[in-house]
Amino acid sequence: MLQRKLSIVAPTYNESDNIAPFIERAKEVLGQFDWEIIFVDDNSPDGTGQKAFDYSMEDRRIRSITRLSDRGLAKSSIQGLLSARGELLCVMDVDGQHDPAVINEMAERLESDKLHIVSAARRLEQEQELEGLSPIRQKLSTFGNWLSSRVLGRKLTDPLTGFFVIRRDSFIETAPHLGDPGFKLLLDILYSNKALRHAEVPFDFGVRLAGQSKLDSYVVWKFVTFLLSKMTGGLVPVSLISFLLVGGSGIFVHFAVLYFALSLLVPFTIAQTAATLIAATGNFLLNNLLTFRDRRLRGWGKFWGYLKFLTVSAVGIVANVSAATLTYERLVHVVFIATLAGIAIDTVWKFVIANRFIWK
């Protein structure tokens, strides 16, 4: 019998103890395929990449790619997928939470229903008590599912799963349209190519073998801003969404500091100045941590960036007030709209400068 060619793309970050059991399990259950495993490692400090490389020297079915910069789960997966030689491509975790045996079911479904892509949906019901996930993760996951289904326009049990099989030609056709969805590659694939025929196969999400999860608050932030950007039809870029959210939080900080200072009988001008400075500082730090994380400033660069940001904010206040006044006088005599116009112009101006001259 002619065996079908299958490529497993396994992105790794600090998984050195999980590589060997993963390969063993794949060998055990994937007999029907002519398979290869492509480890795509983001130069893990724990030596995962070296380990994968050692295995690739022993077994020609195993390949190893090491990336030196621009860390990311989706980016690694895409790179691996693009170099895969199989007719069927699979992306999965190597930490024991995804059982390679499920690939057999997915491939079968792909054939029998003439589909382009099949994902493995985590069975998260009752008895199983979601052994793989903490309570907060479960809540976040439910919310994420709901939001994703809305953005996608199709109903999925588990749009956030990181385990799926796709035909090579379908992936190649979709790849040029993919963005940087952080952890959620499946979602981006389905969003970017609405013509793909897709189905889900349920599976039991296992418990991580060794090491720990890399899904941190930054990953969640990227995911939320990614979805919001998609909700605007991609019109507002992810970084601007992030900048706007940070700016929005700054307004709260501003008012909180202002009223606190006023309650302590600090004179208005001083209270207002303090509020502006503290809010701008918070905005700078958050933008450095979230919006422009891949170009994060450190040391002196951070200090100079901060001074520039304050200057831009100061100019922004002038821009804001003039825009609001102009709108008020020339167009509509509505305070609310005029103020919004002022804030909009101020924000866009700050974003443009920040993007081009501060976090270059």
Long-range contacts (CB closer than 8 Å, 24 or more residues apart) made by 170-177: 170/116, 170/117, 170/196, 171/81, 171/89, 175/78, 175/81, 175/82
Binder of Mn ion out of 16, 97, 145, 174 (CB under 5 A): 97
Could you tell which of Mn ion, ligand GDD, none binds residue 42, using a CB distance below 5 to 8 A set by kind? ligand GDD
Between 72 and 250, whose beta carbon lies closer to ligand GDD? 72
Asked whether position 80 contacts ligand GDD by CB under 6 A, the answer is: no
DSSP state of 211: S
Could you tell which of Mn ion, ligand GDD, none binds residue 11, using a CB distance below 5 to 8 A set by kind? ligand GDD
Cβ 213 vs Cβ 137: under 8 Å: no
Between 200 and 346, whose beta carbon lies closer to ligand GDD? 200
Could you tell which of ligand GDD, Mn ion, none binds residue 164, using a CB distance below 5 to 8 A set by kind? none
Nearest one of 58, 75, 64 to 8, comparing CA atoms: 64
Nearest one of 224, 301, 286 to 250, comparing CA atoms: 286
Asked whether position 119 contacts ligand GDD by CB under 6 A, the answer is: no
Asked whether position 200 contacts ligand GDD by CB under 6 A, the answer is: no
Asked whether position 15 contacts Mn ion by CB under 5 A, the answer is: no
Between 158 and 346, whose beta carbon lies closer to ligand GDD? 158
Dihedrals φ, ψ of 216, to 5°?
Answer: -110, -175
Whole-angstrom Cα distance, residue 140 to residue 215? 12
CB 40 → ligand GDD: shortest distance, Å?
Answer: 5
CB 12 → ligand GDD: shortest distance, Å?
Answer: 4
Whole-angstrom Cα distance, residue 21 to residue 260? 57
CB 299 → ligand GDD: shortest distance, Å?
Answer: 24
Q: Within a 10 A sphere around the Cβ of 179, how many other Cβ atoms?
A: 15
Cβ 25 vs Cβ 95: under 8 Å: no
Asked whether position 277 contacts ligand GDD by CB under 6 A, the answer is: no
| Size of site (CB under 5 A) for Mn ion | 3
Could you tell which of Mn ion, ligand GDD, none binds residue 247, using a CB distance below 5 to 8 A set by kind? none
355 to 39, 225, 245, 288, 347: CA distances (angstroms): 34, 17, 15, 11, 12
CB 213 → Mn ion: shortest distance, Å?
Answer: 5
Binder of ligand GDD out of 7, 97, 192, 355 (CB under 6 A): 97
Asked whether position 188 contacts Mn ion by CB under 5 A, the answer is: no
DSSP state of 12: E
Q: Within a 10 A sphere around the Cβ of 337, how many other Cβ atoms?
A: 14
Task: Give the strand order in the sheet containing 88-91.
Answer: 62-66, 33-41, 4-12, 88-91, 164-167, 117-122, 198-203
Asked whether position 86 contacts ligand GDD by CB under 6 A, the answer is: no
Whole-angstrom Cα distance, residue 290 to residue 241? 11
Q: Which residue sits closest to ligand GDD, CB atoms considered? A: 162
Between 45 and 301, whose beta carbon lies closer to ligand GDD? 45
What residues line the site for ligand GDD (CB under 6 A)? 11-13, 15, 40-42, 71-73, 76, 93-95, 97, 141, 160, 162, 183-184, 213-215
What residues line the site for Mn ion (CB under 5 A)? 93, 95, 97
